[in-house]
Structure 1
């Protein structure tokens, strides 16, 4: 999961990439679209390729994905504790991250790229940075995450609604994601990377401005 022999080569080839990681529901996609549209950048959405990456990964390289795929919805989101959900979630272990890097290396380098998504873990991105100002992690407060899910429909939203106990599943998911944000906070601080706290007091425009300032795209 850490530095590989070819990190120096990959780092040089990815110097035009800007990275936005962070907790789920922190506004990464919205902010990335705003900045990419304003600055004429190419956008790479890691969420959009999760299905493709899951299909491409050999089983021996994705043990946690295999375990997750074998579970039913209640086993995934109801029966386990938030801590167990955190510690066994395949994307949080970096499974498939090399495929993200492959995709980015395959893109034309004729203009800057913004890569965004919760799969961009600080420990994995740091060895690929020529400049730490090219990466930022958005860290949502628990109250902000709760508000996001309330806006989406709460227990009636998406895969949560397909469990046998949507209310419990939602609380498990919110607690797991809070633990994930705590983990991201620890990693970004340990590695000297940029982080921005996201709460209900900040507007999308202001958050986009702050991310742009980290990236050096605004004075």
Structure 2
């Protein structure tokens, strides 16, 4: 696909359903890397390939995982910061505004899926918004893992 086919002409629903990383592609490679690591010190693994239904069966206890879920204001701020430079991949489309809007909607739907899945699987989440500092978030993660 060219840039317009990928980001401008496809509806966000199709973008979500066909984005391979949101389907768990690469998850096995992450697990393989983690298996090779020493058990100490603890490791925090982050990324949108770590889907709750894939991670939960590997947990010794549910409290060994937490998902960071961006609040709408945080997602919007992240999108704005990506498009400020004008050098991002959406600037290579014929309609960067529409591409940004499509990607923002796809990301919103993905976050909703994560919220629903973590709730269904009884896994913990932390809502991240623009009022949080990095230290606030680090403290919440540290508390969640009892570090």
| Interval of TM-score (by shorter of Structure 1 and Structure 2) | over 0.9
Paired residue for 2:109? Answer: 179
Paired residue for 2:88? Answer: 158
- Give a deviation string over 1:23-56, Cα, whole Å, max 9, x none: xxxxxxxxxxxxxxxxxxxxxxxxxxxxxxxxxx
Q: Show the 5 A alignment for 1:17-32.
A: none
Q: Which moved more, 1:90-99 or 1:108-117?
A: 108-117
Cα displacement (A) at 1:155: 7.7
Alpha-carbon spacing, 1:87–1:183, altered in 2? closer, same or farther (3 Å): same
Q: Which has the higher strand share?
A: 1
TM-score by length of 1: 0.64
CA–CA separation in structure 2 for the residues paired with 1:211 and 1:157: 32
Paired residue for 1:169? Answer: 99
Specify which of 54, 57, 65 is matched with residue 124 of structure 1.
54
TM-score by length of 2: 0.93
How many residues align structurally?
A: 147
Cα displacement (A) at 1:107: 2.2
Paired residue for 1:94? Answer: 24
RMSD: 1.4
Paired residue for 2:11? Answer: 81
